[in-house]
A and B are shown apart, each in its own frame.
Chain A
């Protein structure tokens, strides 16, 4: 968010990838966009909620419509949708950071159970332990973990995502783990078509931006994006 990170333009490639993937998602004209992101607790948030920037930057003051306590991933997802010009129905779904894989899968199934054509905007990052100066310092296991996730996304291998170990994910400060497991279940059976638009760790935290398109198997299935 430019207003939080100051005067210098940073990682414009990442910002462009996020904007790009959101624009593609919106262009599919979904009936509803479901923003999924990790948070201290599993909970639905009012779809009209917006990020309270003052929690991260007191000097910016609380903008009139900031929702106190709204988890950062949901706030950023909402912002991406706003910037993409999407003002249709949205759902803001927080997934608890400690939720087991099975529970995440259950949630993914529930989210897309309705007959609506739903698009998922899944917010979550890879490891924050990718370098000596990373927030989580350097853990040698982080790069291989992220590489496995990236390869799974490129190959549309949802089973790998579904099988990610929550304990290891926590140790490696992989915030995206529960959200990806929701996505894996929501995509349904079959191998989705995928495209990775960004995969890098410029600040020691891995950011992955990817598009998923569900395999067509008769019934309408949701397109999903990871941002």
Chain B
């Protein structure tokens, strides 16, 4: 089967390799299939030591599993498990990262056989161990820094997030980033990674693209990619956005990290309106409600209960 890959609004071109056909609009993650129009919440579950209490593995894991129960009940479609912070700090080795995430992934998979599990990592060794433990999606926010990660996704039958980070090394901060056209740069990078993933054998319907707000971009750049997100969704690749509590929200509103929910929901709603499909969030219940509201306005969502004016 070597049809030219087409996908939704993505026009065939000389760069599109022959291969399995992408079903237009369909997003496959794990055992699930998500039709276009479904707006998915990816719940953030951190497996990093919390400075508030002593890092005791059992305590930590129990609390984290509780969080998984909570977010599933709140409507999360995907649980995103990460063991390394995005910001600079004490080095976390591959082994340590595996320790933090893989046993936990096994526990979540045990509890939820069909839940979509993603692992927030950029490293192929971690990705491989995570997929063996049951992960369905490799959420790489560092723009393919490790080229082997795509191969791991392909071999495991997992999905892959293709992101843009402005060339930054993992766990470094943006420093005077300048772009003649940031959106063009984002498109160029994410689409290249998506094509590369296709060629490596990642399932065509299992690839997402993510502009990665604030990664290698200042607040102005993150606002611009939010404004022009329609250019990403128009490619036909499913778009993931991760805007929850981010600094561009805080800098825009002058809000500390505890105070960014309203701003987060606002840009979430804009992204949903412009066609994004997956929304990585801390506040699952509120994000679920905001997305359902946007979907209802679009006409994609069955309202819960309508009586007013009809009785």
Contacts and interface: CB of A to CB of B under 8 A. Distances in A.
Interface of A: 4, 6-8, 55-60, 68-69, 72, 128, 134-137, 173
Nearest to A62: B180
B88 A56 contact: no
A194 to B, nearest CB: 27
A56 B178 contact: yes
A53 to B, nearest CB: 9
Contact of A72 (B176, B223, B251): B176
Given A6-B251, A56-B178, A68-B180, A137 B173 contact: yes
Contacts of A173: 175
Nearest to A56: B178
B253 to A, nearest CB: 11
Contacts of A57: 218, 220
A8 B173 contact: no
Per DSSP, chain A at the interface is: loop
Give me the 6 closest cross-chain CB pairs, A-B, nearest first: A137-B88, A57-B220, A55-B178, A58-B224, A135-B175, A135-B173
B56 interface: no
22 contacts: A8-B254, A55-B178, A55-B179, A56-B176, A56-B218, A57-B218, A57-B220, A58-B179, A58-B220, A58-B221, A58-B223, A59-B223, A60-B220, A72-B176, A72-B178, A128-B175, A134-B173, A135-B175, A136-B88, A136-B175, A137-B89, A173-B175
Contacts of B177: 56
B221 A135 contact: no
Nearest to B88: A137
A174 to B, nearest CB: 12
A55 B180 contact: yes
Residue of A58, A72, A134, A135 contacting most chain B CB atoms (<10 Å):
A58
Contact of B180 (A4, A60, A69, A128): A69
Nearest to B173: A135
B224 A59 contact: yes
A128 B172 CA distance: 12
Given A8-B254, A137-B89, A59 B220 contact: yes
A56 B216 CA distance: 12
Contacts of A135: 173-176
B182 interface: yes
Nearest to A173: B175
Contacts of A69: 180
B182 A58 contact: yes
Nearest to B89: A137
Given A55-B180, A56-B178, A56-B220, 8 more contacts: A56-B176, A56-B177, A58-B182, A59-B220, A69-B180, A72-B176, A134-B173, A135-B174
A134 B174 CA distance: 10
Interface string B159-179: 000000000000011111111
Contacts of A72: 176, 178
Nearest to A57: B220
Contacts of A137: 88-89, 172-173
Contacts of B89: 137
A136 B180 contact: no
Contacts of B218: 56-57
Contacts of B254: 7-8
Contacts of B180: 55, 68-69
Contacts of B220: 4, 56-60
Contacts of B181: 58
A202 to B, nearest CB: 16
A4 B177 CA distance: 13
B170 to A, nearest CB: 13
A136 B173 contact: yes
Contacts of A128: 175
Contacts of B224: 58-59
B211 to A, nearest CB: 13
B264 to A, nearest CB: 19
